[in-house]
Amino acid sequence: MQRSLTMLDSGLVGHRTIDRLLQAVIFFADSIAIRSSYEVAAVDRADARLIERRIDELREQGFVKLWAHEYEVDDAGRAGNPTDGDAVRRPADLVVPASTLGVSLGEMDEVMRSIRESAYGREPGERSPLRQGTAEIVGLRNHLASLVISAELNQDGMLTNPAVRTALTSTFRARPGEGFQAAVVREVIGQLQLGSLVNLTAEQVETCRRFSADFRTLLDQSVVAVARGLDPVISPENTARELMTRYRAISTEYALPRLGPQVGGEIVWDVLGATLPPSIVLKYGVKAFTWRKIAKEVRPYLLLMHLERALRQPEVGR
């Protein structure tokens, strides 16, 4: 099933944004919608052309879609950024229609009408159910509006929600505005000490995507585990730790020792990737079929193996 997410805090795009986009499309999403009218973040302005080119490349690969409001789009289907005098106009792949957005925001207002406005109206001395007073009400309103826009773009959900970023201080190590899966993936990358994924080439990203589906299954299963609670015990970082423990056990147990010294590096990838070319079957016979069995267990972790290989030995992965 295709999974498209919206990145609503994409008005400013920099290397960090590209890293988050790549984390998403490699690990748990198929495409991410970002603002068509984005500007390059001030901190990365020196690399503006590089960043623009990378976004174009990701768009050509189908991993990024550009979205705009209807009022921003001209007759040629392009949207510009008013702050730079419309100097740069980019195509809008997804457009939020003004009429349906109006209806949906109307529905949201109905819900908001019933949302407690206690921060404004409670009696002195009465215990407030809100932890941060009016800021929480404002944050909640923005959070819901973000969900409405994402739904209007016909996306499956949000990668990040800028409203939450300013609304609350989180008790979790997940960054405010970050969903559960994004938080787990960030932890996994941190525990593997892979650094930024920005260094992956377009081809390497494509190769990683060959292994994404199996890891996504694993990630979906880990989300089901969260159905029994989310607190400091069951948290994104602990989920990531559990995935990493299993990954390390599997890579120690299976990766090379079980396959034997006769299997060279590239063949290991064929075997573990379960492509099992006829030449390998002919050469190794029964062993090749045992490897296929092993591959089934290892397959969800191939993405991590491949990323380690690509980022630690760039000359091998390229």
Partner 1 sequence: MRLLPAEIGATSCRLIIQAGADLSIERSLRWQVQATEPVPLPELFRRFDASVVADETFSLPESTKALIPLRFAIPDTVYPFTILYLWMVSNVDQRPGVTRSDDAANALVWYLRVAAPHLDSTEVRRIHRALDRLPTIDVGKVSEADEGSDT
Which residues are near partner 1 by CB under 8 A? 1, 104, 107-108, 110-111, 113-118, 127-129, 131, 140, 143-144, 147-148, 150-151, 154-157, 161, 164, 167-172, 174, 176-181, 183, 220, 223-224, 226-234, 236
Strands (E), 117-222: 157-160
Per the structure block, which two tokens stand in for 92?
Answer: 């809008």
The nearer residue to partner 1, 8 or 280, going by C-beta atoms, is 8
- Rounded to whole angstroms, how far apart are CA atoms 52 and 58? 10
The nearer residue to partner 1, 148 or 194, going by C-beta atoms, is 148
The nearer residue to partner 1, 60 or 220, going by C-beta atoms, is 220
Q: Considering the complex, what minimum distance in angstroms separates the CB of residue 127 from partner 1?
A: 7
The nearer residue to partner 1, 170 or 290, going by C-beta atoms, is 170
Q: Which residues contact 255 (CB under 8 A, 6 or more apart)?
A: 268, 272, 298, 305
Q: Considering the complex, what minimum distance in angstroms separates the CB of residue 200 from partner 1?
A: 26
Q: Considering the complex, what minimum distance in angstroms separates the CB of residue 298 from partner 1?
A: 24
**Taking a C-beta distance cutoff of 8 angstroms, is the pair 31, 1 a contact?**
no
Alpha-carbon Rg for the chain in angstroms: 23
- Rounded to whole angstroms, how far apart are CA atoms 178 and 289? 42
Q: Considering the complex, what minimum distance in angstroms separates the CB of residue 175 from partner 1?
A: 9
The nearer residue to partner 1, 154 or 201, going by C-beta atoms, is 154
The nearer residue to partner 1, 216 or 306, going by C-beta atoms, is 216
The nearer residue to partner 1, 44 or 242, going by C-beta atoms, is 242
User: Three-class SS of residue 79?
Assistant: strand
The nearer residue to partner 1, 114 or 193, going by C-beta atoms, is 114
**Taking a C-beta distance cutoff of 8 angstroms, is the pair 288, 276 a contact?**
yes
DSSP string, 213-224: HHHHHHHHHHHH
- Rounded to whole angstroms, how far apart are CA atoms 80 and 104? 25
Q: Considering the complex, what minimum distance in angstroms separates the CB of residue 212 from partner 1?
A: 17
- Rounded to whole angstroms, how far apart are CA atoms 189 and 192? 5
- Rounded to whole angstroms, how far apart are CA atoms 227 and 66? 33
Q: Considering the complex, what minimum distance in angstroms separates the CB of residue 51 from partner 1?
A: 28
Q: 185-197 b/e with 16+ CB inside 10 Å = b?
A: bbbbbebbebeeb
The nearer residue to partner 1, 167 or 205, going by C-beta atoms, is 167
Q: Considering the complex, what minimum distance in angstroms separates the CB of residue 191 from partner 1?
A: 19
Element spanning 212, H or E: helix 212-225
Q: Considering the complex, what minimum distance in angstroms separates the CB of residue 227 from partner 1?
A: 4
Q: Considering the complex, what minimum distance in angstroms separates the CB of residue 151 from partner 1?
A: 4
- Rounded to whole angstroms, how far apart are CA atoms 119 and 130? 7
User: Three-class SS of residue 64?
Assistant: strand
